[in-house]
């Protein structure tokens, strides 16, 4: 069942203690934290921004809590990238993504200018190739990874 849904690589599938921890933390949020925040933020003067509605305050508090929780639990990472090889085209298609894996070449030293160049030199870092995914329709005459057509655009995004 997990393989069909593309969930066979979830860390909780291989780490049952993490599953118990996640359940404990989510139950703590639902049973204790949200009710306490709900009462505490009823008076406007206790809200982070007094002009916020009670609902906005509670939702913001939950969002801030979830950010910290997701980072602490290791479910998402902040400011880090794994440079593992991208998944194969077949694997991507199997889990429902219509894209192609590509390797992006490192930025040439002569293309880096200004403050970025100073920071790079000061910290003695080098540009490296990184994995990425080519999304979109295949354009006749172009193969995956080539430049876009004159009317097309290429967007580089870190999500």
Q: Which helix (H) or strand (E) holds 130?
A: strand 130-135
Lowest-pLDDT range of 32-41, 45-54, 115-124, 130-139: 130-139
What pLDDT does residue 14 have?
A: 67
Q: What is the DSSP letter of 99?
A: E
What is the pLDDT averaged over residues 98-124?
Answer: 86
Which two three-digit tokens encode residue 15?
């780490």
Q: State how far Cα 50 lies from the chain centre.
A: 31
Rg of the Cα trace of the chain?
A: 23
Task: Give the pLDDT confidence score for residue 37 in this predicted structure.
Answer: 95
Average pLDDT over residues 110-126: 90
Residue 48 per-residue DSSP state: S
Helix (H) or strand (E) holding 91, with range, is helix 89-94
Q: Is 134 exposed, middle or buried (0-12, 13-18, 19+ CB in 10 A)?
A: middle
C-alpha closest to that of 70 among 32, 18, 111: 18
pLDDT digits (tens, 9 = 90+) for 9-53: 555 456 778 888 888 888 999 999 999 999 999 999 999 999 999
40 or 102: which carries more pLDDT confidence? 40
Q: In this model, does residue 132 exceed pLDDT 50?
A: yes
In the prediction, which pLDDT does 56 show?
94
* The pTM of the whole model exceeds 0.75: no
Contacts of 47 (CB under 8 A, 6+ apart): 41, 54, 57
């Amino acid at each position: 069942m997990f393989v069909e849904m593309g969930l066979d690589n979830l860390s909780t599938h291989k780490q049952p203690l993490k599953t118990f921890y996640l359940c404990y933390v989510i139950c703590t949020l639902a049973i204790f934290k949200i009710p306490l925040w709900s009462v505490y933020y009823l008076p406007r003067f206790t809200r982070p921004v007094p002009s916020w509605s009670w609902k906005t305050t509670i939702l913001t508090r939950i969002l801030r809590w979830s950010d910290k929780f997701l980072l602490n639990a290791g479910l998402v990472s902040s400011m880090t990238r794994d440079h593992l090889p991208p998944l194969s085209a077949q694997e991507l298609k199997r889990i429902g993504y219509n894209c192609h894996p590509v390797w992006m070449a490192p930025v040439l030293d002569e293309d880096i200018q200004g403050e970025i160049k100073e920071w790079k030199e000061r910290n003695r870092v080098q540009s490296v190739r990184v994995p990425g995914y080519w999304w979109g329709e295949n354009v006749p005459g172009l193969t995956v990874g080539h430049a876009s057509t004159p009317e097309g655009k290429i967007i580089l995004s870190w999500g």
